[in-house]
């Protein structure tokens, strides 16, 4: 199993961080998680850097943690651009309730484009823009010869939101999605080789307005809270993504986690890191 961080950003428009997205690759088959803005360009950048599994026709399976824009603004791009670039198979997407409606509206929004490409002179195929949507609930959501994927509920507002656990023959990877810390997370993270987790800086948080502090504390995980979780779970590697730092850099964020008592292996994730 190989992990490629495609986008490690947040809703903030940071030029060096695309929106939330990553690829888990097993036997040359990529499984995408989240579809933030920039996902397709980042996937192509990884392909050009030698990750052959991320060729456009291979982008056929994705898992969505929740419907926030920083996780979904690349969805239309993922539907249509790989199709234009010779993907023939439909895109299969797993995600929370509401995904079917979002998909239906996106396909309707681009129906003129689809009609022009299929009925016009462009040699477009009739299958590559189709989307197979699987709205999921907690539990087993996908199994094939490469991976077993389980969804688990996380706390991120009033709507359904999920993390995912990917198990292959050689590695177990957990992707937290956006979540506040809960006791149940420890069970879902247990025994993982890699834990890819969102985080916000405790120091940066202190300088935020009270209204934003109330929001972040209720739906996200601080560096101190993540350190406490990791201390119990002891993942082989903790990877920090969706970093809300408010001016605190990645190394300082790791230092916050160390100061809170966790001393295992930690990586401050950047776009196009390969793990």
Q: How far is CA 230 from the centre of its chain?
A: 19
Section 120-140 average pLDDT? 96
Q: Work out the pLDDT band at 248, boundaries 50, 70, 90.
A: confident
Partner residues linked to 134 by β-bridges: 94
Section 205-223 average pLDDT? 94
Question: Does 250 score more than 90 pLDDT?
Answer: no
Residue 110, Cβ neighbours under 10 Å: how many? 14
Q: Work out the pLDDT band at 168, boundaries 50, 70, 90.
A: very high
Q: What is the DSSP letter of 167?
A: E
Section 235-247 average pLDDT? 95
At residue 247, the pLDDT reads: 83
Section 40-46 average pLDDT? 98
Query: Is 268 in contact with 38 (CB distance < 8 Å)?
Result: no
CA-based torsion, 222, 227, 230, 232: positive or negative = negative
Could you tell me the pTM of the whole model? Answer: 0.97
Backbone angle region of 188, left / alpha / beta, with phi > 0 → left and psi within -120 to 50 → alpha:
alpha
At residue 237, the pLDDT reads: 98
At residue 231, the pLDDT reads: 98
Q: Which residue has 């292959």 as its token pair? A: 168
CATH class of the domain at 1-136: alpha beta
For the chain, the structural domain boundaries read 1-136
> Which phi and psi angles does 251 have, rounded to 5°?
-70, -35
At residue 251, the pLDDT reads: 87
d(CA 111, CA 10): 30
Q: Beta strands of the chain (E only): which ranges? A: 2-7, 21-26, 29-33, 61-63, 91-95, 131-135, 139-143, 148-153, 162-167, 172-175, 194-200, 237-244, 266-268
Query: Is 191 in contact with 162 (CB distance < 8 Å)?
Result: no
């Amino acid at each position: 199993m190989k992990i490629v961080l495609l986008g490690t950003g947040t809703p903030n428009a940071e030029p060096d961080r695309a929106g939330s997205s990553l690829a888990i690759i097993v036997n040359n088959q990529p499984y995408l998680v989240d579809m933030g803005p920039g996902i397709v360009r980042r996937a192509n950048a990884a392909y050009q850097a030698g990750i052959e599994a991320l060729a456009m026709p291979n982008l056929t399976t994705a898992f969505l943690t929740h419907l926030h824009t920083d996780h979904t603004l690349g969805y239309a791009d993922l539907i249509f651009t790989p199709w234009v670039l010779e993907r023939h198979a439909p895109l299969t997407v797993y995600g929370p309730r509401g995904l079917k409606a979002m998909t239906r509206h996106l396909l309707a929004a681009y129906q003129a484009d689809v009609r022009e490409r299929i009925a016009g002179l462009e040699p477009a195929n009739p299958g590559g823009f189709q989307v197979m949507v699987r709205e999921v609930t907690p539990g087993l959501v996908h199994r094939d010869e490469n991976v077993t994927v389980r969804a688990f509920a996380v706390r991120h507002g009033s709507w359904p939101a999920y993390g995912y656990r990917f198990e292959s023959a050689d590695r177990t990877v957990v992707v937290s999605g956006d979540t506040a810390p809960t006791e149940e997370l420890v069970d879902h993270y247990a025994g993982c080789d890699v834990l890819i987790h969102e985080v916000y800086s405790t120091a940066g948080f202190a300088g935020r307005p009270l209204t934003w502090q109330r929001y972040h504390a209720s739906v996200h995980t601080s560096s101190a809270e993540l350190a406490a979780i990791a201390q119990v779970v002891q993942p082989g590697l903790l990877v920090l993504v969706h970093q809300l730092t408010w001016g605190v850099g990645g190394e300082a964020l790791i230092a916050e986690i160390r100061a809170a008592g966790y001393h295992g292996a930690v990586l401050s994730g950047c776009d196009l890191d390969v793990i």
